Structure 1
Amino acid sequence: MEPDRSTPRTSSRRGFLLTGGALASTLTETSMAQAATRARNTGDADAAPGSPQHPVVTRPADWQPVAERLDGVGRLGTDGLVYRATFPRYDLDLSSYGVSGLVEASYAAFARYPDGRTMLMGDVVATETELQRVTDAVQAHGLEQCAIHKHLLAHRPALWWTHIRGVSTDPVALAVAMRAGLDATATPGPRDPDTAPPAGLDTAAIDAALGAKGVSLDGYRFSFARAETISDDDCVVPPAMGVTTSFTFRSVGHGSAAVSGDFVMTAGEVQQVVKTLRHGGIDVVELHNHALSDNPRLFYLHLWAIGPAVSLARTLRTANAATNLGVVTPDANSSMSTES
C-alpha cells in the first residue's frame, strides 16, 4: 500500500503520516505526566489556523504492526512521542583514516499526529553499489528522498546516506517502505550493540568537558536537541526524529579518540561553528540539509577528528555554545542515534 498523497501540503515536496485506526488514542488516564502531555498535544485543536500540529502520545502496543515489518527492531521514547528503530551495518568492516571498527546505522523514526497521519523520517546507509537499488526501492514505495550525501571523509567501503521522509494515514505502509529500502542493502538482522564503556577513554572527563552525560553504544555517544520548536510542513518534529546535534567518541588508545558526528544549525550559526571546529583541530566533512521543508531552515555539518578525547570534547562544547541548543536528549542517545 502506497502512502496517502491526498492530504494537502503547505510548502514541501516531502511525504508520509498515520492511520487513525492503527494508532488509536493511547494515553494512560491514570498517568498525570502523560495526561499533561496529552493536554499539550491535543491543544492543537485550538491552535491558530495554519499552525503546525504537535505529535500525540502513543503506547508501545500501538507500534506493534510497525515493529513486525521491521524485524521487531525499535522502541518508543519515554515521552511516548517517537517510535525509533536503528539498523547498524555490522556487516561492514568500516574504516576511516586508519580507524577500523566504525559502526554506522540506518534509522527510521515515526510520530503520530492528531489528524490521524504518521510521519516517518530516517536515513538508509548504503554502499556505493547499493545506493541506486535503495533509491529505486524507496521511490517505488512512495517515500521522498530529501538528501543524498556522505558523513565521513575518506573511508572504506565507500558509503552514502540517503535521507527519507513519508507521511501517511497507514503507518504500516511506511514501515513496509522503509523495509524495502533496507532490503535493497545487505543490512543484517538485529544484534545487540556493544554497551561496554570504551576502553582507554576517561568517559567521566569527557562528560565534564562536554557538559553532558554520554551513553556507551558502539562507542561513546552524545545527542543534543535544539531549544526552538522545529516543524516540517504542518507537523512539529520532535528531536528523536533525527533533528539533533550528535557526537560519537571511539577509543584509539591512550586517552585519544576518533570523533565523528554532526551539528544541526540555522544559517546564522554555521560560520561560527566551522571556525570553532577548525580552531580546535576538528575536520569539517560536509555541510548540507537533511530536509526539504523544515522550519526554521536547518543545516547539518558533519565532522571528524582524531586526538585527545577531552580536548576534542572541549572544542565541541564551545561549538555547541554557538548554536541554540536546549538539553541533552537521552532517548536519542539510548536508541543509538548515529549521526543523523
Structure 2
Amino acid sequence: MKCMIPFITAAGLLAAGATAAAAQDVDWNAVDGALGRKAAVVGDTHRYPFPRTDLNVTLDGVTIKPGLALGGWVVFKPMHGQAMVMGDLVLLETEINPVMAKMIANGLEITAVHNHLLRANPATFYMHVGGHGDPVKLANAIREGIAESKTPMTVAAPPAQQPAIDLDTAQIDQIIGAKGQANGGVYQLGVPRRDPITENGMALTPTGPMGVNSAMGFQPTGGGKAAITGDFVLTGEEVNPVVKALRSNGIEVTAIHSHMLTEQPRIIFMHFWANDDAIKLAKGLRAAIDKTASKTN
C-alpha cells in the first residue's frame, strides 16, 4: 500500500497542532536509508544528490559532466516538527510521465517541468518536486518516484581526489565575488541574494542547499576555455537587465521560468550557456550579477 502524504500549509500545520518529533529528533538515519545515500548536512538542511551519471549528454561538442548540468537533488528542512522537501530531478523525456505519475500518487507536488539547456543530445528535462510531512514517508515516496527513471540508485564511491580544474579559479573567484569549489571536474560557485526568500512562511535557508543561490558552473574545455551553465535567481524587474547583460557578453539565455509555486518574493530562474574563454565569461557573469540584488565579496 502506497503512503499518501497530505499537503498542508504552514498555517494548517500549526492549526492542526502537529505533534511529530522536534527537528533535532528526526531520524535522519532512516531518511538516509530510504533514499539509499548519505546527506550533505548544512545548517538544518539535509541534501541528497541524485546525479545522472548514467547519461552521456553532449552539447555543442562538449560532453556534459554531472556536476555541470546533470546533478539532480532533493533537500529536507525541518518544519513545525515535520519536514518540507524540495528537489530538482534530471530526466529524459520518456521518464517524465512515469516519474510524475508516481510522485503524484504518493502525495508529492510537481512544481515545474522544463528544460535548462538547448541542443543537448539526448535532451534533458528537469522536474521540480515538493512536499510537507513525515520525513521518512517523504523519502520513501521520493525513492519510489525516482525509481520510475533510470537514475542510478546506488552511489559510486567518491574519487580519492578531485579531477584537476585547468582554469584560473582564483581569478574567477575574484571576478564573481564568491568562493567556488571543485566537484567532479567542474568549478561551482553560488551567489546568494541580499533579500530573504520564504516558502509557506519558512525562510529558505541556508540558501545554497535550498537551491536559491544564483549557481554557476565552469567545466574546462581546454586552452583556458570553459563551458558554463547554471541559473540566476531573480525578481521580475531584474529579468530583462540580466538577459541583456548576458547576451551582450556572448552568453546564451536558454530558459526563463519558475521552480516553486508559493515563494515570496516571486522568484524567476534564468539558465544560460556558453563555451569560451573562462575569464571573459566570468566577467560577463559578473556584469549580470551586478544587475541583481546579490551578495558578493
Query: Do Structure 1 and Structure 2 share a fold, with TM-score over 0.5?
Result: yes
Which of the numbers 247, 252, 264 marks the counterpart of 2:221?
Answer: 252
Aligned to 2:20: 20
SS at match of 1:187: coil
Q: Deviations over 1:37-81 (max 9, x none)?
A: xxxxxxxxxxxxxxxxxxxxx8xx74111111111231211x2x2
Contact residue 73 and residue 190 of structure 1 kept, 8 A: no
The verdict on how the C-alpha distance between 1:180 and 1:283 changes in structure 2, with shifts beyond 3 A counting, is: same
Aligned to 1:183: 147
Aligned length: 282
TM-score calculated relative to the size of structure 2:
0.89
Q: Identity over aligned residues, as a percent?
A: 36
Root-mean-square deviation (CA, aligned residues, Å) is: 2.0
Q: Where do residues 141-290 of structure 1 align in structure 2 (5 Å cutoff)?
A: 141-168=106-133, 170-188=134-152, 189-192=154-157, 196=162, 198-218=164-184, 219-238=186-205, 239=207, 240-290=209-259
Contact residue 289 and residue 300 of structure 1 kept, 8 A: yes
> Which amino acid counterpart does residue 84 of structure 2 have in structure 1?
M
> Which is further off, 278-287 or 222-231?
222-231
Contact residue 19 and residue 171 of structure 1 kept, 8 A: no
Aligned to 2:59: 96
Q: Deviations over 1:131-155 (max 9, x none)?
A: 1111111111111111100111111
| Structure 1 residue 327: Cα displacement | 5.2
Contact residue 229 and residue 274 of structure 2 kept, 8 A: yes
| Structure 1 residue 226: Cα displacement | 1.4
> Which amino acid counterpart does residue 138 of structure 1 have in structure 2?
M
| Structure 1 residue 117: Cα displacement | 2.6
The verdict on how the C-alpha distance between 1:193 and 1:88 changes in structure 2, with shifts beyond 3 A counting, is: farther
| Structure 1 residue 192: Cα displacement | 4.3
> Which amino acid counterpart does residue 195 of structure 2 have in structure 1?
E
- 4+ residue segments displaced more than 4 Å: 8-11, 192-195
**Partners in 2 of 1:71 and 1:290 — Cα distance?**
25
SS at match of 1:129: helix
The verdict on how the C-alpha distance between 1:186 and 1:86 changes in structure 2, with shifts beyond 3 A counting, is: same
TM-score calculated relative to the size of structure 1:
0.78
SS at match of 1:152: coil
Q: Deviations over 1:241-269 (max 9, x none)?
A: 11111011001100000001000000011
Contact residue 218 and residue 227 of structure 2 kept, 8 A: yes
> Which is further off, 292-301 or 205-214?
205-214
Q: Where do residues 49-198 of structure 1 align in structure 2 (5 Å cutoff)?
A: 62-77=27-42, 79=43, 81-103=44-66, 104-113=70-79, 115-168=80-133, 170-188=134-152, 189-192=154-157, 196=162, 198=164
> Which is further off, 61-70 or 283-292?
61-70
Aligned to 1:15: none
Q: Deviations over 1:120-174 (max 9, x none)?
A: 0001111111111111111111111111001111111111101001011x11111
Which of the numbers 307, 318, 321 marks the counterpart of 2:290?
Answer: 321
Point out where structure 1 has 5 or more consecutive residues left out of the alignment: 12-17, 27-57, 329-340
> Which amino acid counterpart does residue 6 of structure 2 have in structure 1?
D
> Which amino acid counterpart does residue 132 of structure 2 have in structure 1?
V
The verdict on how the C-alpha distance between 1:209 and 1:9 changes in structure 2, with shifts beyond 3 A counting, is: closer
Contact residue 149 and residue 161 of structure 1 kept, 8 A: yes
SS at match of 2:175: helix
Contact residue 242 and residue 288 of structure 2 kept, 8 A: yes
**Partners in 2 of 1:134 and 1:19 — Cα distance?**
31
Residue 274 (structure 2) pairs with residue 305 (structure 1): yes
The verdict on how the C-alpha distance between 1:19 and 1:226 changes in structure 2, with shifts beyond 3 A counting, is: farther
The verdict on how the C-alpha distance between 1:205 and 1:25 changes in structure 2, with shifts beyond 3 A counting, is: closer
**Partners in 2 of 1:248 and 1:148 — Cα distance?**
21
> Which is further off, 104-113 or 293-302?
104-113
**Partners in 2 of 1:250 and 1:185 — Cα distance?**
26
Point out where structure 2 has 5 or more consecutive residues left out of the alignment: 13-17
**Partners in 1 of 2:296 and 2:19 — Cα distance?**
32
Q: Deviations over 1:268-301 (max 9, x none)?
A: 1111111100010000000000011110000000
